Amino acid sequence: MAARPTPSRLPDTGRHRVVVIGGGSAGITVAARLRRAGVTDITIVEPSDTHWYQPLWTLVGGGQASLRGTRRPEASVIPDGVRWVRRHAVAVDPDARTVTLFGGDQLSYEYLVMAPGIQLDWNGVPGLADAVGHGRVSSNYAPEYAPRTWELIKGMRSGTAVFTQPATPVKCGGAPQKIAYLAADYWRKQKVLDRIRVVLVLPTPALFGVPEWRRTLEQVVHRYGIEVRLQSEMTAVDGDRHEIVVTDHAGGTSETIRYDLLHAVPPQSAPDWVKASPLADPASPLGFVAADKHTLRHPVYGNVFALGDVANLPTSKTGAAVRKQAPVLVANLLDVMNGRSPSRGYDGYTSCPLVTARDRMALAEFDYDLKPRPSFPLINTFKERRDMWVFKRYALPSIYWHDMLTGRL
Ligand code: FAD
């Protein structure tokens, strides 16, 4: 059996062929594919000793999966032959081609892949950082809180449950509403739904951007009797009084809602050190990394590529998008390493498994033009289906660990 990689704590000097910042979905997939292509001298900078499969956190919050099943040791996903520096990156100097690590050490690179993910800005809503994880407030967006969501859902028999989504881009745009549907279906089965007021606060003008799935979701909220506040946002939380302020951006009004359960999704942005770096897209107010939307190459620094949640790409930020971005990025990086122009193009493919009940799901898949891009063209994935729920719960995690992270898919 091959020895497990152990983190290399002190970086050696010298220029590394490829440095990948972030050992999450995107960083590991890219590193694995580069290794399969025969690239040597790859270094991953990743501070965490745990790798998470985040898409299952929705089902953890819905009481349908265990948190334990969503994590593996980071060491077990680092590809053989890849060096792991277990530190935070804190700055990049793309002119000097260096990455500064927490503590001050530096790594030099020939080629850089930016994949440090998205930052959860709990302080972006007054009161939220203090309230989350206490009393009646939870969030599936952090593993320490997701199990609590289920505890709150399970314990509720009457009152008001509020589910919110911020106006910033978020990872998995469907996740803020999926948990509302899982909760409502549970309460329906417990025969208490008629005693619970369910409010869904969304920043968008409609439940979903693509009409084919929007129609399905409209039927779902009608079935559960969910009150939907569109173009609205939670702008303050008072955890002691169990109240939130919801601002309606279309009407310019605000209202206070008292809750007995609050599932809050925090505002999100690029990590602060990325925002402050020359790699941030000047056109992105939230500091996401500039990348050509087809080649994934930085428009100014040709030896830098970006993918995943940190990249400023006009598509929904998901692991499914990463799955399609990684092969394109690796092919284009190999082109550039070999003195050629990038030859592959990413079309914006992303996917959102829209869990609408405890045993039903519609699979939204679309591209930059919001054109449906079904992986299963012979079945109707616009509507709620049991087979798609089984696919999300059991097949997708296995595909992730065994095929995507190993660079086979
Ligand atoms: P991540 O996987 O988050 O990895 C980023 C990595 O960078 C982390 O390992 C982190 O430790 C590391 N890092 C952070 N800071 C630094 C630093 N300073 N230096 C070095 N490394 C750093 N996607 C789907 O496709 N389908 C779904 O159903 C789905 N549901 C979701 C539900 C929830 C509740 C959540 C939270 C996410 C969901 N997603 C889903 C989104 C998906 O998990 C992300 O889009 C995906 O993980 C993005 O990959 P990434 O590598 O860009 O970021």
Per the structure, how many domains does the chain have? 2
pLDDT single digits (tens) 39-75: 999 999 999 999 999 999 999 999 999 999 999 999 9
Angle between helices 25-36 and 319-337 (to 10 degrees): 40
Q: Are 55 and 191 within one domain?
A: no
* Ligand 1 environment, Cβ below 6 A: 21-27, 45-48, 54-55, 57-58, 88-89, 115-117, 140-141, 171-172, 175, 271, 308-310, 317-320, 322, 351, 353
Residues designated as active site: 172, 352
Cα 134 to Cα 127, 240, 261: the distances in Å are 12, 10, 11
Domain final residue pick, 213, 246, 268: 268
Domain final residue pick, 319, 347, 375: 347
Would you give the DSSP letter of residue 310? Answer: G
The Å distance, Cα 220 to ligand 1 centre, comes to 28
The Å distance, Cα 60 to ligand 1 centre, comes to 16
Does the residue 359 lie in any domain?
A: no
What is the predicted pLDDT for the residue at 14?
79
Strand partners, 363: 353
The Å distance, Cα 139 to ligand 1 centre, comes to 15
What is the predicted pLDDT for the residue at 148?
98
pLDDT single digits (tens) 195-236: 999 999 999 999 999 999 999 999 999 999 999 999 999 999
What is the predicted pLDDT for the residue at 3?
43
The domain in which residue 146 lies consists of 121-268
Q: Are 148 and 251 within one domain?
A: yes
Does the residue 311 lie in any domain?
A: yes
Q: Which residues lie below 8 Å from residue 395, measured CB to CB, with a gap of 6+?
A: none
Kindly give the residue spans of alpha helices, DSSP state H, lying in 106-145.
Answer: 128-131
Does the residue 222 lie in any domain?
A: yes
Residue numbers of the chain with a pLDDT score lower than 50 = 1-3, 10-11
Q: Are 140 and 242 within one domain?
A: yes
Q: Are 185 and 237 within one domain?
A: yes
What is the predicted pLDDT for the residue at 1?
35
Closest residue to atom 41 of ligand 1, CA basis: 318
Closest residue to atom 52 of ligand 1, CA basis: 308
Identify the residue whose tokens are 């991953």. Answer: 44
Backbone angles phi, psi at 16, to 5 degrees: -90, 145
| Whole-prediction pTM | 0.97
Q: Are 191 and 219 within one domain?
A: yes
